Amino acid sequence: METMRQAFREHKGLWVLTAALIAAALGSCLWAMCRPGLWLRNTFLYQQKDGSFSGHDSHAAYSMTVTPTGEGAEVRFTLDDETRVYRICADAVGWDVPDVKIYQDGQLVFVGSAQGDPGDALLWGEDDGLADKVNVVVNGEVSRDDLWPSCTWLYNVAVGGRRQTRGTPQVLLLTVLFGVLLALDVRFPRLMWNLRHGLEVSGGEPTEWYYMSQKAGRVLFLFAMAASVVWGFFLH
């Protein structure tokens, strides 16, 4: 047991460095999770200071600007080095079933209506079918045409005013729970032992093995906090 304690002391600096790195990564993720933007499929486009949006994934780099107009909005969307201009024309948001027209580079590509709350509506074509087809990804292969935004997404972003943050608040509650447990364990080292064995023994004391395991458990709590943040970072 003394050998284990000695080993921990010899590598104490490594444990401290590990904890510091996890804390730094945790803080960075929390900051990024709170930044506003938009999810485009599984890619998050961060909102920039000038109001534009940009992001990238393994397939391409994306950027977008949204300009309100008297009849709706104009969207300039760039995929790598190619730019398309979309014009979304819609009745005033708040109508039960707004009529919607979408033009791509001056060509009409959709005529129909929007049903649902602004920012989370569904577009239905004149044939009563959904505005956008369902794309099936096989073996991770995505065609370039599938990388462009859908009509429904454009409407919800440009006219419906959809805005999101990258993080998932529910997962942050899990991170807070791990943090509270870690703080209690540090502040009251024998709390967990008393809860587990306090009613079963009289006058007993935790062993050196317990204290060593407790230190390792604290590191696991740090990793659990970091893992929950990363999980929430990609969950949407």
146 dihedral zone (left: phi>0; alpha: psi -120 to 50; beta)? alpha
Tell me what the mean pLDDT of segment 176-196 comes to: 77
pLDDT of residue 140: 59
b/e map 179-191, b = 16+ CB within 10 Å: bebbeebeeeeee
pLDDT of residue 6: 58
| pLDDT confidence band for 226 (50 / 70 / 90) | confident
- 170: number of CA atoms within 13 Å, CB side? 3
Tell me what the mean pLDDT of segment 170-174 comes to: 73
- Residue whose structure tokens are 């204290």: 211
pLDDT of residue 2: 47
pLDDT of residue 64: 97
| Rounded distance between C-alpha atoms, residue 47 and residue 163, angstroms | 9
The lowest-confidence range among 23-27, 51-55, 75-79, 187-191 is: 23-27
Task: Give SS3 for 39.
Answer: strand
Show Cβ contacts of residue 86 under 8 Å, excluding neighbours closer than 6 positions. Answer: 74, 75, 76, 77, 102, 103, 104, 149, 154, 158
- Residue whose structure tokens are 């708040």: 94
Q: What are phi and psi of 154, to 5 degrees?
A: -60, -45
Q: 22-34: per-residue pLDDT in tens?
A: 677 667 767 777 7
pLDDT of residue 116: 86
- 160: number of CA atoms within 13 Å, CB side? 25
| Rounded distance between C-alpha atoms, residue 102 and residue 107, angstroms | 8
The lowest-confidence range among 15-24, 74-83, 164-173 is: 15-24
Q: What are phi and psi of 127, to 5 degrees?
A: -90, 10
Task: Give SS3 for 199.
Answer: coil
Q: For the chain, where are the E strands, in sequence order?
A: 36-40, 43-47, 53-56, 61-69, 72-79, 82-90, 99-104, 107-115, 122-125, 164-165
| Rounded distance between C-alpha atoms, residue 84 and residue 74, angstroms | 11
pLDDT of residue 176: 78
Cα angle, residue 223 at apex, residues 222 and 224 outer, rounded to 5° = 90
The identity of residue 207, as a single letter, is T
